[in-house]
Amino acid sequence: MVGLRGVGKTVLLDRMRDDAEGAGIQTLRVEAPESRSLPAMLAPQLRQALLRLSRTAAAHDLAKRALRGLAGFAKALKITYNDIEVGLDFDPEPGLADNGDLEHDLQALLEVAGNAAKAAGTALVLFLDELQYVQEDQLAALITGLHRTAQKRLPVTLVGAGLPQLRGRMGQAKSYAERLFDFPEVGPLDDTSARLAIEKPMAALGVAITDAALTRIVADTRGYPYFLQEWGKHVWDVATASPIAIQDVVQASTEAIAALDESFFRVRFDRLTPAEKRYVRAMAAIGPGPHRSGDVAEELGRKVTALGPVRSSLITKGMVWSPNHGDTAFTVPLFDEFMRRIMPGDDWRVS
């Protein structure tokens, strides 16, 4: 069971899922929005996986039983989580995942689904993106269910992707989560890998790029995978001849930043309240971070305790995270530069 965090996580998650499906593994792909419950997200995907398993002779009966368990699961929890919408192909089996208690029922449901996958000679892998948005009690239920399948040696596992606070949230949900999962970080590429990410695809198409141009791209993107993709796209569109030169990168950087400002960064900015915007603007005034909470408060001329609810709200929204106690950092690289562009001057200091 693996947890991923950092920039580039969604791309990696999708690639891992494609590889798993290519190997004949049953997968569930879910992106956790802030407004939906975990049962509502899992139920339709699990139904599809179980229907596929039911077509395998060796797993037919066990998959049908799991589908009956899913029917009971959805029916029992419909009252609590009224966003559950899943086709009920079978009548519920009394006593199977139908107590109405999420932790108990999800544990039972994953166990019967794991038995079906085992009989089919395959595995069931849950790919959950934006896992940090799952509510703590629902996250605890998922961890408990996966712990149970691990104890039973059933082929059910989770590949979850989320923002940096994910490790802490899972530890709060269940204290043994950090022993149960691995948490590799997907962060910036080293200099060699970042240069190769730009240079190799171009070389495959017979196009060269100067060393100075590569150096500028790596510096502008800080080596983050998504930004390397954006700069690579814009450089390719701007350049008219090979080798691509630093002048091409300078022009492309302007276009890439403008594109990010209008989409990638702006979407995040628009979710913030005025108080939250002032808080992250104060962080940006100090620099890229991480920053001590006291330093941010001093920048705003406020007490740390008074700003606690704002900081907590920003963490919940996934805008910032706490790498260490009392520290605050942006979850999105280069966001400090965006904040200085979109809120220039000092007017933001006036509340």
Q: Quick one: fold of 191-262?
A: Helicase, Ruva Protein; domain 3 (1.10.8)
Sign of the torsion angle spanned by Cα atoms 132, 137, 139, 140: positive
pLDDT computed for residue 322 by the predictor: 87
pLDDT computed for residue 230 by the predictor: 93
Cβ atoms of 87 and 47 within 8 Å: the answer is yes
Write down the domain spans for the chain: 2-180, 191-262, 273-349
Of 216, 222, 260, give the one whose Cα is nearest residue 235.
216
pLDDT computed for residue 229 by the predictor: 92
pLDDT computed for residue 55 by the predictor: 94
pLDDT computed for residue 187 by the predictor: 78
DSSP string, 271-323: TS-HHHHHHHHHHHHH-SS-EEHHHHHHHHTS-HHHHHHHHHHHHHTTSEE-S
pLDDT computed for residue 161 by the predictor: 85
Q: Supply the CATH classification number for the domain 273-349.
A: 1.10.10.10
Cβ atoms of 149 and 58 within 8 Å: the answer is no
Sequence-separated (6 or more) residues with CB below 8 Å from residue 63: 50, 51, 53, 54, 56, 116, 120
Look at the pTM and tell me if it is higher than 0.85.
no
pLDDT computed for residue 185 by the predictor: 78
pLDDT computed for residue 34 by the predictor: 67
Q: What is the pLDDT along the chain (351 residues), one digit of tens a residue?
A: 344 444 456 667 778 888 888 888 888 888 876 678 889 888 889 999 999 999 999 999 999 999 999 999 988 888 777 777 776 778 899 999 999 999 999 999 999 999 999 999 999 999 998 888 888 999 999 999 999 999 999 999 999 888 877 888 888 899 888 888 888 877 789 999 999 999 999 999 999 999 999 999 999 999 998 899 999 999 999 999 999 999 999 999 999 999 999 999 999 999 999 999 999 999 999 999 899 999 999 999 999 999 999 999 998 888 998 888 889 999 888 999 999 999 998 888 876
Q: Which CATH architecture has domain 2-180?
A: 3-Layer(aba) Sandwich (3.40)
